[in-house]
Amino acid sequence: MLGAARRSGCVLGQLMQTLRPAAAGAARSYSSAAKEMNVREALNSALDEEMAADPSVFLMGEEVGEYQGAYKITKGLLDKYGPDRVLDTPITEAGFTGIGVGAAYQGLRPVVEFMTFNFSMQAIDHIINSAAKSNYMSAGQMSVPIVFRGPNGAAAGVGAQHSQCFAAWYAHVPGLKVLTPYSAEDARGLLKAAIRDPDPVVFLENELLYGESFPISAEVLDSSFTVPIGKAKIEREGKDVTITAYSKMVGFALQAAEILSKEGISAEVINLRSIRPLDRAAINASVRKTNRLVTVEEGFPQHGVGAEICMSVVEESFEYLDAPVERIAGADVPTPYAANLERLAFPQVEDIVRAAKRACYRATSMSATA
């Protein structure tokens, strides 16, 4: 199988040869402090280590090679692993995603980068009808070990067509796993787990988190470290209200929890990490302790991740609730371009604080908060 995988890799390299400019080397550097790493470095190190450990892993996407990646996630990898394993593609998501899925059918482990997940809509047939369904339609005989990764959700000032969160879109599909890292630990551990997984994984990063640094332990820096898919993390323990969030919204939830603590409200913050599979057990265990729930997400409210979490709690822990569930989500409109309207279209820390207070029956009037 490995021999076939290597031959397939050579064929892929030959297919892309006419599209690839000469490689330009660049050294990869980590944060000087061993106990801190930013998300960009965490993703880069995960890709590097998995490529070194498994010759069937290869990268493909727009500007992943010579340009070192649009966000420099793949910095240094072309120079280190060569053009047969770091493939610059033309601007044709439908084309290179189909090539990636076909390579996974043949035993390779492609990591396909979308410059933004908004562009994944050009390739959605390959992701949903080919990658997600092949294992089921082959009665388990065919695995599709492929990762689709890139920035997801709103950045800043990029308008309605480049600001969408695709977590709920892809989490709706049986056969896909959908991961949403927040911290450097999440990014490193979840990406390594995704690459090793036998099933297709949609890996939703956030552009605004790439430069954020987080404390990181020696255990996380070990090459064998992974974060289990489908397991949430309690980022902050509390007893009065549960706040669930993913990706960038975890940081907002933690800020809100700090503000709430100064007002005597102890908030438990759950970093979901995985949207499909969803860690329903962790969510319900927390709600049974705090008796209140606030869900936070950037995506549109209708049929969103928060709606699924709410239903899970209603089904499994309804009798434990002491207050209605509060759902914080993006506005149900296309994202405005104007900065002032864009801010109003997405959840802010103060929105989470107000929702938690309502759940705890500590809400103040709108006039008082104006």
Active-site annotation, residues: 93, 162
Q: Which residues pair with 243 in a beta bridge?
A: 269, 294
Regarding beta strands 147-151 and 201-205, do their DSSP bridges make them parallel or antiparallel, or are they unpaired?
parallel
Regarding beta strands 36-38 and 213-215, do their DSSP bridges make them parallel or antiparallel, or are they unpaired?
antiparallel
Half-sphere exposure of 285 (CA within 13 A, CB side): 11
d(CA 48, CA 157): 32
Nearby residues of 87 by Cβ (< 8 Å), 6 or more positions away: 12, 13, 16, 20, 58, 59, 60, 61, 64, 65, 96
Phi first, then psi, for residue 91 (nearest 5°) are -80, 75
Q: Which of 51, 49, 39 is nearest to 87 (CA)?
A: 51
Tokens 């959908």, located at residue? 178
Amino acid, res. 142: M
* Secondary structure letter of residue 246 according to DSSP: -
d(CA 328, CA 345): 11
End-to-end CA distance of the chain: 65
d(CA 349, CA 335): 19
Q: What is the Cα 348 distance to its own chain's centre?
A: 20
Nearby residues of 323 by Cβ (< 8 Å), 6 or more positions away: 291, 292, 358, 359, 360, 361
H or E segment and range at residue 59: strand 57-61
